[in-house]
Structure 1
């Protein structure tokens, strides 16, 4: 393939070129389904520069892939922001954060798989992990903290609830991508129901610690159901 020649960039255009490189690398990922075809040479050809021009901005393919994943998480955060912009109720916001996360993942399956497929190092977090922590993860933490302020959860449970909600959204998204024909509903009804179950189920466990035991939980729920049936009759 012949490299498309690029006109000499004016001074100060380095950031623009870096953005074009990241976009081109992301496009190659999406087109080929993984990073095998995302070589420095292929990216240079796509952008219209020589491979050494890529190395001025990214040390190697791994660094470029990190930049693509970090950009993906920035866009995920933007989607979460847009989906919850006017939602003041923290429970509704928590559910919409989870749904927006799932919708974005389903709409961007290749980048989702690549971005979340990179192993994290808790001791030495990469730029990718830092971007995710400072954006999408912080939104979940802030929202669940508001729910704790209302009394739905204890404050020392916030990190646990965030992890459970995030794991639920991530698991649902992964399963929807792997098994799209399981009856998820056109408007993601099943996903919303599952996220509600996680939030409300954890709230019940917080209010009634005894429900952590299976037999106690079953007895407690049967009592509530009997009372509800009595009120309806």
Structure 2
């Protein structure tokens, strides 16, 4: 469907803005909002500022998003969809039951480092003026009836693999939540450093992830199964 310049003013006066299909306009608004949120801060970025960057009138944004919170949720949701796919599709050695955990780490780090703006917003930004958006872990007293957000779904991929390895007897019996927290914290630390210190002479990513994961596994794998 093609976006029209109707009463809401989807084009600026003078017709300078190119008309785009609705899906393309939505993607453009998300790109502009993402970059401005990172560069200027979420609270300092208004919908009018985003509209200026996209070359449309502020009212045109409401054809696609209800408010700034809706924009943030869309950016986070799209990013997390891709992150989950990247983790699940990263190939692993079928002969090594522990390699699936390494693969999840590789997928996480590759995708996160490859999408630095989105990663900063979802996992490296404090959002004091907003309720949690997808990507932020629900508090312990969250309503259990509510479905898990996409952030918890991506974390759940790690937790499910930890649970599988515990059931197979490959890990020392322990708190699977703590094991998953430790793995996520390790991978998050790698991505954060790759983003903020990109010019450091890092070990190649795959080797770095494998080393970090194996160091963790050395502490929790059962005797005789240690790396």
Q: TM-score, length-normalised on structure 1?
A: 0.67
Q: For residues 33 and 110 of structure 1, what CA distance do their matches in structure 2 show?
A: 12
2: CA distance, partners of 1:118 / 1:94: 29
CA shift at 1:73, angstroms? 1.1
Q: Which residue of 2 aligns with 1:213?
A: none
Aligned pairs for 1:67-78 (under 5 A) are 67-78=74-85
> Any conservation in 2 of the 1:44–1:51 contact (CA below 8 Å)?
yes
Contact 1:165/1:199 (<8 A) preserved = no
SS of residue matched to 2:203: coil
Compute the displacement of 1:7 (Å). 4.3
Q: How does 1:94-109 map to 2 (within 5 A)?
A: 94-109=101-116
Equivalent residue runs for 1:23-38 within 5 Å: 23-26=31-34, 28-29=36-37, 32=39, 34-35=41-42, 38=45
* Partner residue of 2:30 out of 10, 22, 29: 22
**What residue in structure 2 maps to residue 40 of structure 1?**
47
Alignment correspondent of 1:171 = 189
Structure with larger Rg: 1
- Counterpart of 1:221 in structure 2 is none
Where in structure 1 do 4 or more consecutive aligned residues deviate above 6 Å?
Answer: none
Going from structure 1 to structure 2, the CA distance change for 1:179 and 1:48 (only over 3 Å counts) comes to closer
Unaligned runs of 5+ in 1: 209-233
* Number of aligned residue pairs: 196
- TM-score (norm. length: structure 2): 0.69
2:152 corresponds to which residue? 133
**SS of residue in 1 equivalent to 2:149:** helix
* Structural mapping, 1:1-233, within 5 Å: 3=12, 4-5=16-17, 7=19, 18-26=26-34, 28-29=36-37, 32=39, 34-35=41-42, 38-47=45-54, 49-84=56-91, 87-88=93-94, 89-116=96-123, 117-118=125-126, 120=136, 121-122=138-139, 123-124=141-142, 130-134=149-153, 136-153=154-171, 157-180=175-198, 183-204=201-222
1:216 aligned residue: none
Tell whether the 8 Å contact from 2:172 to 2:221 is kept in structure 1 after alignment. Answer: no
- Quickly say closer, same or farther: Cα 1:39–1:154, change in 2 above 3 A: same
| Equivalent residue, structure 1, for 2:133 | none
1:180 Cα deviation after fit? 4.1
Is the 8 Å Cα contact of residues 6 and 49 (structure 1) preserved in structure 2? no
Unmatched tracts of structure 2, length 5 or more: 1-10, 128-135
Q: 1:61 to 1:171 in 2, by over 3 A?
A: same
